[in-house]
Amino acid sequence: MTLATGATVTLDDLRYTVQIRSVAAELVLLPGVNRAEVAIAAGVDVPAAAGARASVELDGGDGTAVVLTGTVDHVERTTSGAVVVVTDAGAALAATRPSETYNGLTGVQVVGKLADLASADTGQVAALTQTAAYVADARRTAAEHVAAIARRSDAVAAVDAEGRVTVVAWPVGVATAAMRLDREFTSFTTSAHTPAHEFTPVGAGGSGAAQAPDAWVPSTDPLTGADEPDGTRTWSPAPVLRTRSDVDLAARGESSRRGAATARMRGTCWLQPARRPGDVVRIDETTDPAQSGPWLLTTVRHELAPGVARTTLAGVAAGASDDLLGGLAGALGGLL
């Protein structure tokens, strides 16, 4: 069976289909930047310039999906045609270095403010952290600040297919998509890793509520539920965290990522344009339980060119962090 693949790229009011020679799209979680390179044949008029509205759609043979919505970053013109590079809101966030302080706002509101600075739209934002004061300093980009807020909220930050900034809760084992190992993949690899050093966030303590009148009262007591530091655990100061519930949420976020990184996957499959970072994928029709996941996709690369139609996926385990770490500890113990 041969799948009829294709691409559609819209630049301002012009649409390109058969004129496209190749498309390569690299999608990542924030603070990374989603990027697509579109090669258009020589002799085709490509008047688009930097800043033009752009969208990239791919068809893997069983339906079209929008891969990226954003603007033209730049256009390269050569004797073989034009190469249009398209980026989305992630690039705008990465180019913005804020220098502001947000007082008494929730994580959702801070993400909204940072997106506004970059003239970016927001989609679903589930950033539960509350702050007495969040200092968005210029040592980090707006993209890095959004990713940091997501991390403290036990969440994942990404830009969706419509070009909107999103922050969604860290997955706890519930898949959003299923793929078959025997039908869709040409290669699939998993690996197990020892847990990394544990960094536990410690808040500034004090008021018990970030919006309380005494939120600025200093406290010398560390605000944390973690055990004392030792050779495997380091306390990481996080003065923006003012309440025990926020500290516990941030600690869960660190634990989620640490546990997820103990199991990783990488696979190549037929072109699957609907797959993007933040998806949680279950792998069916496999005899190895370690392969089934579910997996949180962290990087997705789509490629379409003459003789090439593939998607490369990379991700980490999307199960409950306690189960991941406990299972790995048991496996390591069996080897000792």
| Model pLDDT for residues 216-275, shown as the tens digit of each residue | 666 667 788 888 888 888 998 888 888 888 899 999 999 999 999 999 999 999 999 999
Taking a C-beta distance cutoff of 8 angstroms, is the pair 74, 50 a contact? yes
The residues facing 238 across adjacent strands are: none
- Per-residue pLDDT reduced to its tens digit, 114-167: 999 999 999 999 988 888 788 899 999 999 999 999 999 999 999 999 999 999
The confidence score (pLDDT) of residue 217 equals 67
Residue 43: is its pLDDT beyond 60? yes
What does the pLDDT read at residue 177?
93
Residues facing 76 on adjacent strands:
83
Which whole number is the average pLDDT over 164-180? 91
Mean pLDDT taken over the chain: 89
- Counting every residue written for the chain, the total comes to 336
**Are residues 111 and 45 part of one domain?**
no
Q: Is 265 among the domain residues?
A: yes
Q: Which of 93-102, 177-186, 226-235, 273-282 has the lowest mean pLDDT?
A: 226-235
Mark whether 72 and 96 lie in a shared domain. no
Give 280's pLDDT tier (boundaries 50, 70, 90).
Answer: very high
Q: Are residues 17 and 108 located together in one domain of the fold?
A: no
pLDDT the model gives residue 133:
82
Residue 97 and residue 135 in one domain? yes
- Asked if residue 241 is part of any domain, the answer here is yes
Q: Do residues 269 and 188 share a domain?
A: yes
Q: In which domain, by residue range, is 149 found?
A: 92-169
Residue 257 φ then ψ, to 5°: -70, -40
Indicate whether 189 and 270 sit together in one domain. Answer: yes
150 φ, ψ (degrees, to nearest 5): -60, -45
Whether this prediction's pTM lies above 0.75 is answered by yes
pLDDT on residue 216: 65
For residue 278, give both structure tokens.
């933040």
Task: Show which of 87, 120, 151 is a domain's final residue.
Answer: 87
Number of domains in the chain: 4
Structure tokens at 169: 């809760």
Say yes or no: 128 and 234 in one domain: no
Q: How far is the CA of 55 from the CAs of 82, 311, 329, 331, in angstroms?
A: 16, 18, 45, 46
Do both 182 and 271 map to the same domain?
yes
Q: Are residues 136 and 147 in the same domain?
A: yes
Are 135 and 185 within one domain?
no
Q: Are residues 114 and 225 in the same domain?
A: no
Task: For residue 1, tell me if it sits in a domain.
Answer: no
Instruction: Quote the CA–CA distance of 219 and 212 in Å, as a whole number.
Output: 14
